[in-house]
Copies of this chain bind each other. A is one copy, B any other.
Amino acid sequence: MDWITIDACRRCTDLPTEAEIRGWVRTRRDSKGGFSFLEVNDGTCLGNLQVVVPGELENYASEVQKLTAGCSVIIRGQLLESPAKGQATELHAESVQVTGWCDGETYPLQKKRHSFEKLREWSHLRARTNTLGAVMRVRNRLSQSIHRFFDEAGFFCLHTPIVTASDCEGAGEMFRVTTLNLDKLAGSNRPLDAGQDFFGKPTHLTVSGQLEGETYASAMSKIYTFGPTFRAENSNTSRHLAEFWMVEPEAAFYDLSDNMQLAERFLKRIFSDCLDSCAEDMAFFDERIEKGKLAQLQDVVDKPFEHMTYTDAVDRLTSSDESFEYPVKWGIDLQAEHEKYLTQLVDGPLILTDYPASIKPFYMRVSDDGKTVAAMDVLVPGVGEIIGGSQREERLDVLQRRMAEAGLDEQEYWWYVDLRRYGSVPHAGFGLGLERAVQYVTGMTNIRDVIPFPRTPGNADF
């Protein structure tokens, strides 16, 4: 007999049936009637399966009564309708095989509630807790949904390079990648010769796959990347990771309006998939992590996104009665407090467009007014910016001028500039930080708790 998941056991309606489960004990309770209750979880769902173990089993006293949280077991028996409240089914054990014991004295995940901070010290075990397990299932669902959305919409999945000799933004704080022996280098007392390095020149970890993505969009029409990106910012906040996953679609012949529609359809789809496929986990987040989350997400799925230009947003902010820490005037980069005010104003997601050229990168398309670019940010309540994107500058002369203004060497980007020489097309794209999306969906406040093993200054454990 093959075993079945605990998720399947809990949903099973064809009862009674024989079943075998494999998982980890969460709790054991011995009844005075001479039998025991085990709560067993295998990570496939939030809930446990209740297992009733009769005292008659051969290893009842020798093993079953010694089971503690964390022990792994294989249990066979009859899956029945449960008379108890809050669960549809329960398993009546006919055999319990212990595959791995768990020392209750040293096992970190005891019954007591641990802080998320503490759990991070046990990142190799924390997915065994209710909250982190639920986060990882939602993260999985978002990831699967992202691939499906783009596949169905005719976007090709593209793996852009992680190690790169160019810098997308022209100004990112980047990690250097090297095979030079740093210990030897420190003692060498000779100038560095980057030509001796593995790639023959200085290389870094990518901050974005966009520029490379544009080259493939100029050949295959619609592509998206979904991979790790890196920032070497020394920011020890609950909003920053040094390593995170980013989704970046890029489409030829898209203008800003197409791009906004794509972003809206995309977010609605991935949130809707989470609500549908992770209903139990989502109910948990709604109840335990952020009240009202379900209604908020359903709203995003149902309501059309509001649009507002940056200029209008600045007008709204300056004419409001709110007192902001950062004063608002046209030309500033909007702060979290401003974004929060605006999302509250429209009571839902908001797409801001047409930002000042001076605060946006060289590759964004300059508008006819000469002052703004065809940029867009999608803001959501609570999290703020979740998507940033733009129509790209497809005109060779304008791009060259913008690069010069930004102090970039056109020679270094020869291949990027080539796209405007050889069959240039209007095109647009955006970036979504996966972790921001998981935070928004789950309501988790610290970004370190929505990625399996967070990398932050001083932390590269596991």
Contacts and interface: CB of A to CB of B under 8 A. Distances in A.
Interface stretch (A9-17, A120-128, A314-322, A378-386): A120-128
Contact of A154 (B44, B198, B215): B44
Interface string A293-315: 00000000000000000000000
B228 A162 contact: yes
A416 interface: yes
Contacts of A425: 22, 72, 99-100
Contacts of A161: 243, 452-453, 455, 460, 462
Which residue, A43, A107, A205, A242, has most C-beta atoms of chain B within 10 A?
A: A43
B5 A221 contact: yes
19 contacts: A42-B221, A43-B156, A72-B423, A72-B424, A100-B394, A101-B424, A124-B415, A124-B416, A125-B215, A137-B220, A158-B452, A159-B434, A161-B460, A163-B230, A175-B177, A185-B186, A199-B455, A212-B453, A216-B452
A253 interface: yes
A201 B460 contact: yes
Nearest to A162: B228
Interface of A: 3, 5, 22-25, 42-44, 70-72, 74, 99-103, 106-107, 123-125, 127-128, 133, 136-137, 139-140, 143-144, 147, 151, 154, 156-166, 173, 175-180, 182-183, 185-192, 194, 198-203, 205, 212, 215-216, 218-221, 227-228, 230, 232, 234, 242-243, 245, 252-253, 394, 415-416, 418-426, 434, 451-453, 455, 457-462
- Which 8 A-B residue pairs are closest in the complex by CB-CB distance? A43-B220, A100-B424, A127-B219, A199-B460, A124-B415, A124-B215, A186-B192, A72-B423
A282 to B, nearest CB: 16
Nearest to A159: B245
A136 B220 contact: yes
A136 B158 CA distance: 8
B99 A426 contact: yes
A133 B243 contact: no
Contact of A71 (B128, B160, B423): B423
B199 A458 contact: yes
Contacts of A162: 162, 205, 228, 230, 243
